[in-house]
A and B are shown apart, each in its own frame.
Chain A
Amino acid sequence: MQELFRRLDIAASGLTAHRQWMDLIAGNIANAQTTRTPEGGPFRRQLAVFMEMQDEHGAGLGVKVANVIPDDSELKRVYQPEHPDADAQGYVSYPNVDVVMEMVDLIAASRAYEANATVIEAAKNIAQRTIGILQA
């Protein structure tokens, strides 16, 4: 039973982590043109850092998003002197978000999410069969 619940917790952590990643991707796509943020400056692409979780004996406990870091790659500079956020030279810095890349990540995230959902289904199946031994 212990093993079963651990398995379900692991798969649930996978669902949570990949949903968080999908949230970040949604935020990236939504802010692909955002030139102004509360921290100042244009929006920067947000990256999820996945980390394996273990107990004190090294047994696996799933996965988590350990950190969300901004992508430090160069911002896109576009000459738009009429834009309110244009600098002195007339250039506007746009977020370093490539929508195509985000879509690729989104597919990877949703596939991983599905895989974890399948694990939960399989674990439930096995648990049911094990309980079925009692009815023999």
Chain B
Amino acid sequence: MDVLAQDVTFAALAKSMEAQSLRQTLIAQNIANVNTPNYKRRDISDFSSELLDALSEAGSRTERVGQVQDLVAREVVAEELFYRADQGGVDVDREMAELAKTSLLSATYSQLLQKRIGQYRMVIREGR
């Protein structure tokens, strides 16, 4: 659909949901390994600033949609950041907080996507 190819908001929301989904998986992995010695916590790269950069670049809307869609949230392993005496790198309290964060963000993005789709639907129905 030509309209969607120009919809930067739609593309950004979809990509953000994808990133949060990966993030939640990595946090699940961190929590599963809370008692694994020598485990280093995983997280995604700084996705929101990359998204901001892509959104603020010059060019037509179609080009920006392309740039947003090319973004990939990458998995990064924490450096030698040991939290515990047994060399485990997972602070379970922090992970639970991060988990809550991803849940709330995902919920927000899915709500916004629903609203966006609702807007399209209203236009298709000629405002009714």
Residues of A within 8 A of B (CB): 3-4, 6-7, 10-11, 13-14, 17-18, 21, 50-52, 59-63, 108-109, 111-112, 115-116, 118-119, 122-123, 125-126, 129-130, 132-133, 135-136
Q: How far is the CA of A5 from the CA of B89 in the complex (A)?
A: 25
Query: Judging by beta carbons under 8 Å apart, are B29 and A60 in contact?
Result: yes
Number of interface residues of B (CB under 8 A): 36
Bound together, the chains give a CA A109 to CA B35 distance in angstroms of: 8
**10 nearest CB pairs, A to B:** A14-B32, A60-B29, A136-B114, A136-B117, A50-B36, A10-B28, A63-B32, A7-B25, A129-B110, A62-B32
**Could you tell me which B residues sit within 8 Å of A by CB distance?**
17, 21-22, 24-29, 31-37, 39, 42, 75, 92, 95-96, 99-100, 102-103, 106-107, 110-111, 113-115, 117-118, 121
Is the CB–CB distance between A18 and B35 below 8 Å? yes
Q: Which residues of A contact B118 (CB under 8 A)?
A: 136
- Report Cα–Cα, A12/B114, bound state, in Å: 30
Apart from A11-B28, A126-B106, A130-B110: 19 A-B pairs, beta carbons within 8 A: A10-B28, A13-B32, A14-B28, A50-B33, A50-B35, A52-B29, A52-B36, A52-B39, A60-B26, A60-B33, A61-B29, A62-B32, A63-B35, A112-B92, A116-B32, A119-B32, A119-B99, A126-B24, A133-B110
Given A21-B35, A52-B39 in contact, is the A115-B95 Cβ separation under 8 Å? yes
**Contact, CB under 8 Å: B33 / A119:** no
Please indicate the chain A residues that have their CB under 8 angstroms from the CB of B24 in the complex: 7, 122-123, 126
Chain B interface, >50% SS class: helix
In the complex where A4-B21, A111-B92 touch, is A133 in contact with B35 (Cβ < 8 A)? no
The complex places the Cα of A63 from the Cα of B28 at a distance, in Å, of: 10
Q: Is the CB of B25 within 8 A of A3?
A: yes
| A65 → B minimal CB distance (Å) | 10
Given A3, A13, A63, A119, which contacts B21 in the complex, CB threshold below 8 Å?
A: A3
Q: A123 and B35: CB pair below 8 A?
A: no
A18→B33 CA distance, assembly (Å) = 10
B residues in contact with A109, CB < 8 Å:
35
